[in-house]
Amino acid sequence: MFLATILTTIVGTLITGLFANLPYALAPSLGMQAMFTYTIVFGLGFTWQQALGMVFLVGLVDVIITLTKVRAMIVKGIPDQLKHGIAAGIGLFIAYIGLNNAGFLNFNIGAKSILSVNDAPYHGQVVHHAIQSITSGSGTTPGIALFNSPTVLLGLIGLVVLILLVITNVPGAFIISVIVTTIIGIPMGVTNTHIQGLAAFHTTFKDFASIFGQALGSKGLGSMFTTPKHILVVVLTVFSMGLSGLFDAIGTFIGTGMSTGIFSAADQKEFYEGKGFKSKMDRGLVSDTFATMFAGILGTSNTTTFIEASAGIKAGGRTGLTAGLWPLVSHFRWYLHPL
């Protein structure tokens, strides 16, 4: 899926930049990739070709929903208070991901506290006394990690560098902090500089050739509707995947676009009341749906409007020129794959 992911990112982001003139990047969602693998294939028992066919159907259904203005009705129905809350929630979510990946958060799982009977840990034994209380809990306690490992220390250094760059209004603060942290991580033994070799590069193209177009083949869409039971499961799965992608894109646009002026008041009015695809948000949603269709054909999971684009927006990006840089960077990832 490596090359399929890169190609999907290039195609989807170019559509967004050229057609919608928006500073957003489109790429396969990691959450949808997990659902693709563990739920649809491993859990429901579909083949990977059939799962790719479902991805294509999700894009097709989303196109229909967008063309019929159903998405506009959904966005219009969201209260203004919730729209502001979405922006704050996205910021907190990004902060949580960063702190967790840096190792700042530590979750302690205590199995004994998951279920208690009469305030005593319960492990399946017979209870001889009258049951007065049953307490169920997750057994997971969050805490702050100890700053005694190179990974956590490097994360702290990166956070300090980023804060200093942001408060001093240095352009490109995010990418500069990433580069600085990566370089510092080399002598600390955290940055992995191991090169696998060119064999991995050739294998990537060979693997891509084996999955390209399988969604539309006899093992993909051609084998998904063989029994009534299959049809019901496919419909429900496509619906759940499409609903997730729908609110994902809407949430990103609302959280980062309306508060920064990317979607002006006039553009929002055109989105709600106008016909066709004259507004930026209309074109952005159309770009997102077509990118998902391409994702299924190329061989990867649903695309999403990446919240990481907020880094470019923070740096001043407001047009498709910002989005145009993503395909260029993604193109170079072909050659960096063996790293």
What is the tens place of the pLDDT at every residue in 224-259? 888 777 888 899 999 888 877 777 888 888 888 887
Following DSSP, what letter does each residue of 129-142 receive, concatenated?
Answer: SPP--EEE---EEE
pTM above threshold 0.75: no
Inside any domain, residue 315: yes
What is the tens place of the pLDDT at every residue in 87-125? 677 667 777 777 877 888 776 655 445 566 676 765 556
What is the tens place of the pLDDT at every residue in 25-72? 898 877 778 788 878 888 888 999 999 999 999 999 888 888 887 777
Rounded Cα distance between 294 and 300, Å, is: 9
Q: What is the pLDDT of residue 114?
A: 55
Tokens 């990317």 appear where?
A: 262
Q: How many residues does the chain have?
A: 339
Burial of 318 (0-12, 13-18, 19+ CB in 10 A): middle
- Regarding whether 293 and 275 lie in a shared domain, the answer is yes
Q: What is the pLDDT of residue 339?
A: 47
- Regarding whether 299 and 220 lie in a shared domain, the answer is yes
Better-scored residue on pLDDT, 114 or 15: 15
What is the tens place of the pLDDT at every residue in 137-195? 555 566 667 778 888 899 899 999 999 998 998 888 888 998 999 999 999 888 877 66
- Report residue 305 as tokens: 């409007």
- Regarding whether 307 and 202 lie in a shared domain, the answer is yes
Domain count, the chain: 2
Inside any domain, residue 317: yes
Inside any domain, residue 95: yes
Query: SS3 helix, strand, coil % of the chain, rounded to 5?
Result: 65, 5, 25
- Regarding whether 297 and 206 lie in a shared domain, the answer is yes
Q: Is the pLDDT of residue 23 over 60?
A: yes
What is the tens place of the pLDDT at every residue in 316-333? 888 888 888 877 777 666
Q: Report yes or no: 109 and 139 within 8 Å, Cβ to Cβ.
A: yes
- Regarding whether 289 and 210 lie in a shared domain, the answer is yes
- Give which of 312, 330, 29, 306 is closest to 174, Cα–Cα: 312
Inside any domain, residue 31: yes
Better-scored residue on pLDDT, 17 or 85: 17
- H/E stretch holding 143: strand 140-144
Question: Which range marks the domain in which residue 281 is found?
Answer: 2-104+195-336
- Regarding whether 222 and 126 lie in a shared domain, the answer is no
- Regarding whether 201 and 59 lie in a shared domain, the answer is yes
Inside any domain, residue 21: yes
- Regarding whether 139 and 275 lie in a shared domain, the answer is no
- Report residue 91 as tokens: 């910021």
